[in-house]
């Protein structure tokens, strides 16, 4: 471990020996963590977003235990009762406890949003990477993506749900199809930029296979924008799901979803406004959480990105 | 100083308030421009010459970015103490400025005629017809052929040289006393450069308009200016007549600059001397004389005390150096 | 310029083609038999088969597409199974209300977003700018239909100033017509405004950084002249592009809003058709909207060619 030993090592002089190297790596990691923490707390969006998201996650995971009640339990005697100590958010037109339904509805939104974000990210990643790498694939794939992208999300989703029929699974499939193009486009443009880097040429020269180049070398640079976009898609998926459920083309009753709770509320808006207010607020909070979190992620991962408008 | 001064900058300091703290790209600049004179301001990129020029017209964002100290005397007033409205009356009217890249400096969606008319109607109570006539005159004055047709064209339809002429026409519209030209030829081809410089000289002679010419090209200075100011790291280090500067440079930096210009009659096999080292960043200015780290003559006094810009007895020049006289003597012998 | 226009027109064709294929294929996403789904559980095999024949479902896929697109290009989108009229007629009848709603919403959006964006850009970092950031977040977060529920709660239920839902055509008087459209248009428009304001601001900021703004400043142009004659004149084209692009979101939003407020527009037509599985109408509406969206974008792009002298005179 002394310098004399170091000079006797087969490595060229100046390369630290393994134990020192390990120590340096540890130090670097520690510093990176501190830098990350500092940037995290500097970003208001990241902090508030994460806090809200945590709240949503807790509510979603603990749903069955939060109120201990059954969101489907009918209690027609107590229908349309305003908020009280017994029923914090009031009851709906079937006497079901609104708080419980809002909690389950939040969980449903979070599940759908999460599933759609993950699925569309994975599929979009594959499509974007290969489109960015293989010229002729690019032409075909991106034409299809552009065509899909040209569709307003809600319309496309409605049309597809009409064909498939309302169920949670179909909804997730539908929304994934709707949002894949937006991920594919972002991954593709990152991939195109990465492809032009000289180290890619070097990899070719060394004889690395295409797949290896794509996955080991190009993919990492597409991850940051992918994650940021993924979080925005999470938010948008929740909104679109709510809109669809509101119209009856999404999650079928009686399964609680913030969308169909709002739809129920609309019928009774005159006298039972709580049926509209609470689900509406819950929806806003969930979407806000995800949007702020996405903004925060962007501040952390790519602080120089300044986007003009919302990218779908 | 033969002519009566039309612009006097006294100890100007310009501060930029950035995220990294306060920097002063202009840090104690004093210079004068005489009536009818063409004064050159030279220095490397980042020495503050452009910032000085823009400070005269107070073009920086004073709400968010910049603040000033010192005095800029023009026409019996201190420009730094004028209200925004008064400043607007000076800009384009009594003092005009032209910039480096004429393509990006002209609004792409307005015809060049409109852009000249805009200046005219901002400062003079004239009607559209009269303005249009004057515009054609101005275009002719700056040597643009077929001015009636050109006036209706857009900037992207003109060549680089013509665009710069248009910029000059805009600057001249209200017959300013002083024209500030910020690197007007840097973005142009050499042949066009010569034309533009000739135009500026011609206008200076005919209209008696003073010019503050900012450039990093010593050749341009030699061609056009009567006096020169050399800047380094936000300060003036030497100022004097062009003749004196080229024949007998006084400040070690100027000496280095002169020596680094390749000469037609020089020895081809000799290495081109360059000033060693590089310009330190603005927020890391050295204590004492700013050129000391790169100066072959620097001693301890130079490194600790910042010299003042002072007249050197026996010459018409001013230098910022503790040892100017002696150095000049040493350098005189080749 | 002609070259630019021709190129843009040609580029649109593949997009329209892909769109039409996607719309066509929607029916075939259905697990099972479209005809059977339409007729419901109680239908006999013979009825189903008859409907299949009528819908042409037994022909090869390519033929079906060809026939469909062939007819569509001639303006024949088939007939609605449930409404006893051609799809084209249904579309025509429902177009009016949606158009009124969309136009009103866009006007509201521009009236709010443009001044706000301009102000935020010229007074960067100050109150107006912060207000805009907050407002934008609001627009992304609160979906149109949630906003509409809240506005109905306030203006119709509590204050009783405006009707809760319904629609009266222009022929019944302009104010009556507008009364029913105000709340829905506000819901759509405010959300649009939030997104648009951000774009206005950043377009303006991009232009503010250009050299010619400095030249104008050096000429003695005052703040007003700078903002309008120099910055906005250059920034409005990119802004317009975004307005065109957001047209699609607007129509989508309208679909939902129309359902809430019971406005007999295309959105409601679509939603009802979805619930009834009236496939030819669904296809017709989606195709129409998608094409309209692409065409609006095309028009905006062409506008560039006409308005921007750099493209016009090259």
Per-residue model confidence (pLDDT) at position C84: 75
Is B274's pLDDT higher than 70? yes
Same domain, C169 and C33: no
Looking at the complex, does the CB of residue C212 fall below 8 Å from at least one CB of chain B?
A: yes
Quote the radius of gyration of chain C (alpha carbons, Å): 24
Average pLDDT of chain B is: 87
Least confident of B101-115, B209-223, B248-262: B248-262
Looking at the complex, does the CB of residue B114 fall below 8 Å from at least one CB of chain C?
A: no
Same domain, C49 and C105: no
Instruction: Provide the pLDDT confidence category of residue B212 given band limits of 50, 70 and 90.
Output: very high
Would residue C128 count as lying in a domain? Answer: yes
Same domain, C52 and C164: no
The set of residues, in sequence order, having a beta carbon less than 8 Å from that of A137 and lying 6+ positions away, is A130, A131
For an interface test with C, give the residue of A105, A157, A163, A305 to mutate (most C CBs within 10 A): A163
Q: Which stretch of DSSP H or E encloses residue B184?
A: none
| Residue with more model confidence, A269 or B165 | B165
Per-residue model confidence (pLDDT) at position A2: 40
Decide the pairing of beta strands B95-98 and B178-182. Answer: parallel
Is C217's pLDDT higher than 80? yes
Per-residue model confidence (pLDDT) at position B180: 94
| Residue with more model confidence, C70 or C196 | C196
Same domain, C140 and C276: yes
Looking at the complex, does the CB of residue A193 fall below 8 Å from at least one CB of chain C?
A: no
Per-residue model confidence (pLDDT) at position B259: 79
> Which DSSP category does B324 fall into?
H
C124 to chain B nearest CA, in Å?
9
C205 to chain B nearest CA, in Å?
14
Among candidate residues C16, C40, C73, the one where a domain is terminated: C73
Would residue C313 count as lying in a domain? Answer: no
Predicted structure pTM score: 0.76
Is B255's pLDDT higher than 70? yes
Per-residue model confidence (pLDDT) at position A312: 29
Same domain, C50 and C123: no
Same domain, C104 and C42: no
Least confident of A258-262, A279-283, B179-183, B284-288: B284-288
Instruction: Tell me the mean pLDDT in the region C205-225.
Output: 88
B113 to chain C nearest CA, in Å?
14
Per-residue model confidence (pLDDT) at position C37: 67
Q: Which residues of A touch C145 (CB under 8 A)?
A: 242-243, 246, 262
B30-86 residue pLDDT tens: 999 999 999 999 988 888 899 999 999 999 988 888 899 999 999 889 999 999 999
| CA nearest to C286, candidates C20, C5, C8 | C20
Number of structural domains (chain C) is 2
C57-66 residue pLDDT tens: 777 777 777 8
Per-residue model confidence (pLDDT) at position B257: 83
> CA of B54: which chain C residue's CA is closest?
C218
Q: Quote the ipTM score.
A: 0.83
C176-189 residue pLDDT tens: 778 888 888 888 88
Q: At B166, is the secondary structure helix, strand, or coil?
A: helix
Same domain, C295 and C163: yes
Among candidate residues C73, C104, C124, the one where a domain is terminated: C73
| Residue with more model confidence, B293 or B83 | B83
DSSP chain A: --HHHHHHSSSPTTSPPHHHHHHHHHHHHHHHHHHHHHHHHH-HHHHHHHHHHHHHHHHHHTHHHHH---TT---GGGTTPPP-SSSTT-B-TT--BHHHHHHHHHHHHHHHHHHHHHHHHHHHHHHHHHHHH-HHHHHHHHHHHHHHHTS-HHHHHHHHHHHH-S-HHHHHHHHHHHHHHHHHHHHHHHHHHHHTSHHHHHHHHHT--HHHIIIIIIHHHHHHHHHHHHHHHHHHHHHHHHHHHHHTSSSPTTS--HHHHHHHHHHTTTT-THHHHHHHHHHHHHHHHHHHHHHHHHHHH-TT---SS---
Q: Which residues of C touch A276 (CB under 8 A)?
A: 149-150, 153
Same domain, C289 and C146: yes
| CA nearest to C19, candidates C60, C92, C55, C69 | C69
Among candidate residues C73, C104, C129, the one where a domain is terminated: C73
Is A115's pLDDT higher than 90? yes
Q: What percent of chain C has pLDDT over 70?
A: 94
Would residue C281 count as lying in a domain? Answer: yes
Domain span including residue C179:
96-307
C109-159 residue pLDDT tens: 999 999 988 888 888 778 888 888 888 888 888 888 888 888 888 887 777
C204 to chain B nearest CA, in Å?
14
**Cα four-point dihedral sign A236, A238, A240, A246:** negative
Least confident of B156-165, B309-318, C19-28: C19-28
Would residue C43 count as lying in a domain? Answer: yes
The set of residues, in sequence order, having a beta carbon less than 8 Å from that of A143 and lying 6+ positions away, is C14, C15, C18
Task: Judge: C164–A151 Cβ closer than 8 Å, yes or no.
Answer: no
| CA nearest to C270, candidates B298, A247, B172 | A247
Same domain, C25 and C155: no
Same domain, C67 and C120: no
Same domain, C54 and C112: no
Would residue C252 count as lying in a domain? Answer: yes
Would residue C59 count as lying in a domain? Answer: yes
Would residue C100 count as lying in a domain? Answer: yes
A6-46 residue pLDDT tens: 334 344 455 667 777 888 888 888 888 887 787 777 777 78
Same domain, C68 and C128: no
A154-203 residue pLDDT tens: 777 877 777 777 788 888 998 998 899 989 988 888 888 887 777 777 87
C3-22 residue pLDDT tens: 777 887 887 888 788 778 87
Instruction: Provide the pLDDT confidence category of residue C28 given band limits of 50, 70 and 90.
Output: low
| Residue with more model confidence, A221 or C314 | A221
| Residue tagged 């533009």 (tokens) | B196
Q: What is the CATH number of the domain that holds C168?
A: 1.10.3720.10
Per-residue model confidence (pLDDT) at position A307: 39
Would residue C89 count as lying in a domain? Answer: no
For an interface test with C, give the residue of B64, B89, B109 to mutate (most C CBs within 10 A): B109
Instruction: Provide the pLDDT confidence category of residue B165 given band limits of 50, 70 and 90.
Output: very high
B235-244 residue pLDDT tens: 999 999 998 8
């Amino acid at each position: 471990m002394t310098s004399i030993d170091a000079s006797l090592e087969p490595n060229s002089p100046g390369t630290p020996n393994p134990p020192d190297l390990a120590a340096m790596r540890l130090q670097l990691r520690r510093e990176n963590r501190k830098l990350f923490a500092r940037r995290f707390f500097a970003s208001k969006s990241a902090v508030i977003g994460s806090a809200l998201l945590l709240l949503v996650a807790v509510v979603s995971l603990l749903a069955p235990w939060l109120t201990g009640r059954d969101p489907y339990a009918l209690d027609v005697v107590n229908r349309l009762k305003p908020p009280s100590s017994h029923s914090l958010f009031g009851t709906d037109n079937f006497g079901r406890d609104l708080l419980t339904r809002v909690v389950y509805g939040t969980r449903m939104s979070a599940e759908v949003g999460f599933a759609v974000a993950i699925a569309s990210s994975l599929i979009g990643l594959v499509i974007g990477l290969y489109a960015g790498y293989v010229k002729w694939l690019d032409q075909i794939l991106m034409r299809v993506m552009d065509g899909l992208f040209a569709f307003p999300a809600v319309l496309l989703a409605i049309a597809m749900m009409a064909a498939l029929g309302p169920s949670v699974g179909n909804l997730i499939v539908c929304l994934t199809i709707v949002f894949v193009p937006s991920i594919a486009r972002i991954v593709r443009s990152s991939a195109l930029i990465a492809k032009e880097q000289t180290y890619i040429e070097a990899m070719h020269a060394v004889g690395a296979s295409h797949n290896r180049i794509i996955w080991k070398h190009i993919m990492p640079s597409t991850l940051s924008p992918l994650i940021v976009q993924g979080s925005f898609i999470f938010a948008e998926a929740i909104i679109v799901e709510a809109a669809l459920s509101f119209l009856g083309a999404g999650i079928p009753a009686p399964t609680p979803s913030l969308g169909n709770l709002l739809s129920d509320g609309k019928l009774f808006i005159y006298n039972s406004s709580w049926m509209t207010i609470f689900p509406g607020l819950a929806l806003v909070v969930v979407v806000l959480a995800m949007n702020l979190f996405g903004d925060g992620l962007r501040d952390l991962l790519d602080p120089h990105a300044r986007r003009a408008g919302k990218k779908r | 100083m033969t002519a009566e001064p039309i612009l006097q900058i006294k100890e100007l300091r310009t501060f930029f308030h950035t995220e990294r703290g306060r920097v002063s790209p202009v840090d104690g600049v004093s210079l004068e421009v005489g009536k009818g004179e063409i004064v050159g301001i030279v220095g490397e990129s980042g020495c503050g010459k452009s910032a000085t020029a823009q400070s005269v017209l107070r073009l920086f964002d004073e709400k968010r970015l910049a603040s000033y100290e010192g005095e800029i005397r023009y026409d019996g007033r201190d420009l730094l103490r004028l209200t925004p409205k008064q400043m607007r009356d000076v800009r384009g009217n009594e003092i005009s400025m032209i910039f480096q890249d004429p393509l990006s400096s002209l609004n792409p969606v307005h015809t060049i005629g409109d852009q000249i008319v805009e200046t005219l109607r901002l400062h003079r109570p004239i009607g559209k017809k009269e303005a249009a006539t004057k515009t054609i005159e101005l275009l002719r004055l700056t040597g643009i052929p077929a001015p009636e047709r050109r006036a209706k064209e857009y900037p992207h339809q003109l060549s680089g040289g013509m665009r710069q002429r248009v910029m000059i026409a805009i600057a001249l519209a209200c017959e300013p006393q002083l024209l500030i030209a910020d690197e007007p030829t840097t973005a142009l081809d050499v042949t066009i450069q010569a034309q533009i410089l000739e135009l500026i000289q011609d206008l200076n002679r005919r209209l008696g308009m003073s010019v503050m010419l900012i450039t990093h090209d010593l050749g341009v200075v030699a061609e056009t200016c009567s006096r020169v100011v050399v800047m380094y790291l936000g300060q003036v280090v030497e100022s004097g007549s062009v003749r004196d500067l080229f024949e007998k440079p006084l400040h070690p930096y100027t000496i280095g600059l002169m020596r680094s210009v390749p000469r037609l009659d020089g020895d081809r096999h000799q290495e081109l001397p360059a000033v060693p080292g590089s310009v330190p960043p603005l927020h890391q200015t050295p204590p004492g004389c700013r050129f000391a780290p790169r100066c072959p003559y620097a001693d301890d006094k130079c490194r600790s005390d910042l010299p003042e810009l002072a007249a050197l007895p026996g010459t018409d020049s001013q230098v910022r150096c503790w040892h100017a006289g002696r150095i000049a003597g040493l350098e005189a012998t080749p | 310029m002609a070259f630019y226009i021709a190129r843009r027109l040609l580029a649109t064709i593949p997009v329209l083609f892909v769109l039409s294929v996607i719309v066509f294929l929607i029916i075939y996403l259905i697990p099972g038999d479209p005809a059977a789904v339409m007729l419901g559980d109680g239908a006999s095999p013979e009825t189903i088969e008859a409907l299949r024949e009528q819908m042409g479902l037994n022909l090869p896929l390519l033929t079906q597409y060809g026939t469909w697109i062939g007819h569509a290009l001639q303006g024949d989108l088939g007939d609605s199974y449930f409404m006893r009229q051609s799809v084209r007629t249904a579309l025509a009848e429902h177009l009016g209300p949606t158009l009124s709603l969309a136009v009103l919403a866009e006007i509201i959006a521009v009236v709010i977003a443009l001044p706000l964006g301009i102000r935020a850009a010229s007074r960067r970092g100050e109150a107006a700018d912060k207000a805009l950031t907050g407002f934008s977040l609001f627009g992304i977060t609160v979906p149109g239909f949630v906003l509409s529920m809240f506005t109905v709660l306030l203006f119709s239920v509590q204050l009783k100033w405006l009707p809760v839902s319904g629609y009266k055509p222009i022929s019944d008087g302009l104010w009556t017509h507008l009364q029913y459209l105000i709340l829905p248009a506000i819901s759509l428009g405010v959300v649009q405004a939030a997104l648009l304001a951000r774009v206005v601001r950043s377009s303006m900021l991009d232009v503010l950084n250009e050299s010619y703004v400095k030249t104008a400043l050096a000429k003695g142009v005052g703040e007003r002249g700078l903002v309008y004659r120099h910055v906005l004149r250059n920034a409005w084209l990119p802004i317009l592009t975004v307005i065109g692009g957001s047209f699609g979101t607007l129509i989508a939003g309208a679909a939902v809003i129309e359902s809430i407020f019971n406005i007999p527009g295309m959105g409601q037509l679509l939603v009802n058709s979805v619930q009834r599985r009236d496939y030819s109408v669904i296809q017709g509406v989606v195709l129409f909207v998608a094409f309209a969206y692409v065409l609006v974008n095309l028009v905006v792009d062409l506008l560039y060619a006409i308005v921007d002298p750099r493209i016009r005179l090259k």
